[in-house]
Amino acid sequence: MANGPSVPSLPESSACSEVRIANTMSELARVAELVDAFGADHKLPNSVIVALNVSLDEILNNIISYGYDDTGRHDIVVRLELRRENVQVVVEDDGRPFNPLEVAPPNLRDKSREGGVGLHFVRSLTDDLKYARRDGINQLRLMKRLTE
Amino acid sequence: MKLVEGMSEDVTIVEAYGRLDSTTAKEFGDRLISLVQSGRGAIVVDLKNIDYISSAGFRALLITKRATTEKQAKLALCGVTGEVKRLFEIGAFTDEFLICPTQADGVGKLRQ
């Protein structure tokens, strides 16, 4: 693909791990494997590994399911960066502009609820979320602290 | 994700292993629904060996619950601890299911 998400030069961090996947659901297993390996390599608490895995599953599922106006192949880049006190996760895709921070929280009492719970998980499991749209690329940055 | 199935008298027990997420929820849900459709009247799903459940996994559990209700079958979950328990709480799913501490508790509850 010619115009996939760019991989910008890496900021200073003590460790970084990255994977580029295609926009199909089966590719998500590779992301979970990356997170598990990253967590094991850096001895991250299980709660942090779970938070990253669930958040990435929700975000990537959204992008793959609803993010594209065509049926073609697109690349999505997932990058994990270990800082001193937190993990930063960057997700970049070239789908249509979508800012998850603008999605209203779901009504958790509504038993017929179908949508919205995924982003509720992301918001609940992470400590900071930032969205930017640049040069046709959605960039979502999550921060997860290493201690509660 | 892996499923191990067994019976305790007339109660079906399904032990799930690994991740319950976008890539595995369909296989998980399809198998549980087919058990319900084939006439299993009581099913205990043991989540003790599940690493985590994303919203796709919870959706599969909710669809299974709906199917059991339609068939007048019964569903219990057990092994909901640690991070999985926390995810049930975050999603407010705890009250949507009959949750028992262990397989034996679930079997006992469903045979009442």
Tens-place pLDDT, residues B10-20: 999 999 999 99
Residues of A at the B interface (Cβ-Cβ below 8 Å)?
Answer: 25-26, 28-29, 32, 46-47, 50, 53-54, 57-58, 60-61, 108-109, 111, 114, 117-118, 120-121, 124-125
**For chain B, percent of residues with pLDDT exceeding 90:** 99
Specify the 3-state DSSP secondary structure of B76: strand
Q: Could you tell me if B19 lies within 8 Å of chain A, comparing CB atoms?
A: yes
Facing residue for A28 by CB, picked from B21, B83, B90: B21
Residue to mutate among B1, B49, B55, B96, with most A CBs inside 10 A, is B55
| CATH code of the domain in which A114 resides | 3.30.565.10
**Cα of B14 to nearest chain A Cα, Å:** 23
Residue to mutate among A48, A58, A78, A121, with most B CBs inside 10 A, is A121
Residue A76 lies in a domain: yes
Residue A34 lies in a domain: yes
Residue A51 lies in a domain: yes
- Do residues B74 and B35 lie in contact, with contact meaning Cβ atoms separated by under 8 Å? no
Please report the pLDDT score of residue A1 as a whole number: 47
Read off the pLDDT of residues A5-21 as tens digits, 9 standing for 90 and up.
665 555 545 699 999 99
- Do residues B1 and B27 lie in contact, with contact meaning Cβ atoms separated by under 8 Å? yes
Residue to mutate among A33, A57, A61, A78, with most B CBs inside 10 A, is A57
Chain A residues in contact with B2 by the CB 8 A cut-off are none
ipTM above 0.85, yes or no: yes
Please report the pLDDT score of residue A6 as a whole number: 62
Read off the pLDDT of residues B32-46 as tens digits, 9 standing for 90 and up.
999 999 999 999 999
Please provide residue A28's backbone torsions phi and psi, each rounded to the nearest 5 degrees. Answer: -65, -25
Please report the pLDDT score of residue A14 as a whole number: 61
Query: Residue A11's beta-bridge partner residues?
Result: none
- What pTM was estimated for this model as a whole? 0.92
Residue A105 lies in domain = 15-145
Residue A1 lies in a domain: no
Which residue, chain included where needed, has tokens 């599940």?
Answer: B50
Residue A6 lies in a domain: no
Contact A124 B92 (CB under 8 A): no
Terminal-to-terminal C-alpha distance of chain A: 40
- Give the C-alpha separation, A117 to A99, whole Å: 16
Tell me what the mean pLDDT of segment B36-58 comes to.
97
Residues of chain A falling short of pLDDT 50: 1-2, 12
- Counting the structural domains of chain A, the total is 1
Residue A10 lies in a domain: no
Our CA dihedral for A78, A100, B18, A109, rounded to 10 degrees, sits at 170
| Domain B2-110, CATH number (from 3.20.20.140, 3.40.50.300, 3.40.50.1980, 3.30.750.24) | 3.30.750.24
Residue A73 lies in a domain: yes
